[in-house]
């Protein structure tokens, strides 16, 4: 472990491809010191073990009551002494104690061009709405679902023959670029949330930094 690097705890419930991207692109920017899940058998935990990163799980089975589960998650996070917490496919709302474990320093990646399409099932809903573009947003986490101030946004045009599967694959490829980038900026102290908005290099962001799929 490198004591000098900002410490990051990642939380996820599923496949963990974004965790993998964060781990692979950590190089000198930050160190992932623990990975937690609400599912004891989540694939993201196996990925973390392969990187020799300590894991923990705080499950509804062990903590059926929401307040106790929130407190246990907050304790597990605090025990890892993180500078930043990165949600990577974590499928539960954070409670007040968990939010307070790293106040203003929790990030999420959401597969939509927020504020459009918060919530679940975004790919199907975007295609059903006949949208022309889609993407993903890295944003600060607040108590409201998917509504904290955005940092980086990946945008792509929707193809005529687009399917849920093809769109998800394209969006995930973009997430694997923008999430490590945003976390590196945060770890370097370039990005912060103040007064409910995002600041980058001392300037208030009125909209997220946009990365197009075609950008290299
Ligand atoms: C990502 O698409 C992210 O936008 C959403 O959950 C998904 C997690 O995928 N919040 P993975 O587990 O990182 O592969």
196 CA from centroid of ligand 1 (Å): 24
71 CA from centroid of ligand 1 (Å): 24
Q: What is the pLDDT of residue 197?
A: 97
Whether residue 27 is found in the same domain as residue 113: no
152 with 175: CB under 8 angstroms? Answer: no
Q: Is the CB of 14 under 6 A from ligand 1?
A: yes
Residue numbers in the chain where pLDDT is lower than 50: none
Counted domains in the chain? 2
Whether residue 125 is found in the same domain as residue 186: yes
For atom 9 of ligand 1, which residue has the closest CA?
A: 89
Paired residues of 210 in beta bridges: 153
Whether residue 91 is found in the same domain as residue 12: yes
Q: Domain end: 69, 103, 137, which one? A: 103
Does the pTM of the predicted model rise above 0.85? yes
Whether residue 192 is found in the same domain as residue 212: yes
Whether residue 97 is found in the same domain as residue 52: yes
Q: What is the pLDDT of residue 3?
A: 58
Q: Domain end: 59, 83, 103, which one? A: 103
User: In sequence order, what E strands does the chain have?
Assistant: 7-11, 31-37, 55-57, 84-87, 106-110, 133-140, 150-157, 191-194, 197-200, 203-204, 209-212
Paired residues of 204 in beta bridges: 199
Q: What is the pLDDT of residue 149?
A: 98
Handedness of CA 71, 76, 80, 86 (dihedral sign): negative
Whether residue 87 is found in the same domain as residue 128: no
Compute CA distances 141 → 84, 88, 94, 146, whole Å. 11, 12, 9, 7
Paired residues of 85 in beta bridges: 9, 106
CATH of the domain at 3: 3.40.50.170
Structure tokens at 154: 């990946």
Whether residue 212 is found in the same domain as residue 121: yes
Handedness of CA 182, 99, 195, 113 (dihedral sign): positive
Q: Domain end: 59, 80, 103, which one? A: 103
Whether residue 170 is found in the same domain as residue 212: yes
- The range of the structural domain enclosing residue 54 comes to 1-103
Whether residue 98 is found in the same domain as residue 10: yes
CA distance 200 to 182: 10
Q: What is the pLDDT of residue 214?
A: 82
Whether residue 117 is found in the same domain as residue 55: no
Q: What is the pLDDT of residue 216?
A: 56
Q: What is the pLDDT of residue 2?
A: 55
Three-state SS for 39? Answer: coil
């Amino acid at each position: 472990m490198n004591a000098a690097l900002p410490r990051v705890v990642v939380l996820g419930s599923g496949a963990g491809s974004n965790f993998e991207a964060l781990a692979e692109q950590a190089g000198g920017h930050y160190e992932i010191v623990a990975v937690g899940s609400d599912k004891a058998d989540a694939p993201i935990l196996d990925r973390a073990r392969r990187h020799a990163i300590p894991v923990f799980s705080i499950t509804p089975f062990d903590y059926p009551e929401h307040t106790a589960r929130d407190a246990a998650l907050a304790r597990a996070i605090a025990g890892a002494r993180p500078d930043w917490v990165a949600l990577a496919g974590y499928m539960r709302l954070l409670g007040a104690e968990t939010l307070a474990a790293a106040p203003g320093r929790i990030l999420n990646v959401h597969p939509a061009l927020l504020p459009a399409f918060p919530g679940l099932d975004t790919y199907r809903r975007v295609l059903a709405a006949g949208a022309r573009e889609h993407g993903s947003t890295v944003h600060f986490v607040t108590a409201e679902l998917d509504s904290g101030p955005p940092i980086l946004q990946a945008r792509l045009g929707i193809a005529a023959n687009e399917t849920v599967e093809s769109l998800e694959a394209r969006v995930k490829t973009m997430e694997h670029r923008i999430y490590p980038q945003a976390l590196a900026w945060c770890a370097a102290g370039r990005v912060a949330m103040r007064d409910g908005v995002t600041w980058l290099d001392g300037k208030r962001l009125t909209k997220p930094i946009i990365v197009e799929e075609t950008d290299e």
